[in-house]
Chains A and B, each alone.
Chain A
Amino acid sequence: DGGITQSPKYLFRKEGQNVTLSCEQNLNHDAMYWYRQDPGQGLRLIYYSQIVNDFQKGDIAEGYSVSREKKESFPLTVTSAQKNPTAFYLCASSIGGRGEPQHFGDGTRLSIL
């Protein structure tokens, strides 16, 4: 089955540590996205990539970093510079970067110990 896999589903981090969230897709989509969801809020765009080896900052990129070395993979690193990292993180992909419906993974919930 084609889809987007995010792992792990739950992640705990100690303050001051970096942590990397995994996102893999086998849909052969060119574009991939990372969003953050906080309670009572919509999804806010962190980073997106329209093609391999290229990515752009979204609305809340501070304290995060990404890489896009392979078409299938778009890992997100939450760095210690992110002051409020506790949230639900969602990865998505789409065929191109022209607003086609995005397909989402099931998310990773990150909590700070």
Chain B
Amino acid sequence: DQQVKQNSPSLSVQEGRISILNCDYTNSMFDYFLWYKKYPAEGPTFLISISSIKDKNEDGRFTVFLNKSAKHLSLHIVPSQPGDSAVYFCAARIYNQGGKLIFGQGTELSVKP
């Protein structure tokens, strides 16, 4: 039972264009969502987060959008840079279960010069 799904295993984008990574979830009890970036043979690093009471959070080139009615969130990167090439994971926290996070399968982003 995959509660957090990233249906696109990979995405290829030209440098300077927008990258849009998508994530769908099924559990209405999720109250906090996070995006992580991971390079090969390294641990994930935190990128940006959003509370379920908001619909948008922006940090520099990165913006996360949350559509609660559709149970969908997306990460926009603009403009995309070659250094953004990595695997991106979305994660969700269940209300009242401490720090436990549920992760999606990841989307591998490739930004071509």
Interface residues of A (CB under 8 A from B): 4, 6, 31, 33, 35, 40-45, 48, 50, 56, 58, 90, 92, 94, 96-107, 109
- Kindly state the separation between the CA atoms of A1 and B2 in the bound complex, as whole angstroms: 37
Complex interface: chain B residues within 8 A of A109 (CB): 41
Partner of A102, one of B6, B99, B104: B99
In the complex, number of A-B residue pairs with CB atoms less than 8 Å apart:
66
> Is A99's CB under 8 angstroms from B32's CB?
yes
Total interface residues on B, CB under 8 Å, equals: 26
What is the minimal beta-carbon distance from B7 to any residue of chain A, in angstroms?
Answer: 12
Q: A40-B9, A99-B32 are in contact. Are A58 and B46 (CB under 8 A)?
A: no
> Is A48's CB under 8 angstroms from B99's CB?
yes
What is the minimal beta-carbon distance from B29 to any residue of chain A, in angstroms?
Answer: 12
Complex interface: chain B residues within 8 A of A41 (CB): 105
- Kindly state the separation between the CA atoms of A14 and B93 in the bound complex, as whole angstroms: 36
> Is A107's CB under 8 angstroms from B98's CB?
no
Chain A residues touching B, majority SS: strand
> Is B98's CB under 8 angstroms from A42's CB?
no
Could you mark each residue 91-112 of chain B with 1 if its beta carbon is under 8 Å from any beta carbon of chain A, else 0? 1010000111111111000000
Could you mark each residue 6-49 of chain B with 1 if its beta carbon is under 8 Å from any beta carbon of chain A, else 0? 10010000000000000000000001101010000111111001
- Kindly state the separation between the CA atoms of A79 and B102 in the bound complex, as whole angstroms: 24
Interface residues of B (CB under 8 A from A): 4, 6, 9, 31-32, 34, 36, 41-46, 49, 89, 91, 93, 98-106
Residue of A nearest to B9 (CB): A40
Partner of A104, one of B9, B44, B93, B102: B44
Partner of B41, one of A48, A58, A103, A106: A106
Complex interface: chain A residues within 8 A of B43 (CB): 4, 6, 90, 92, 104-107
Complex interface: chain B residues within 8 A of A94 (CB): 99
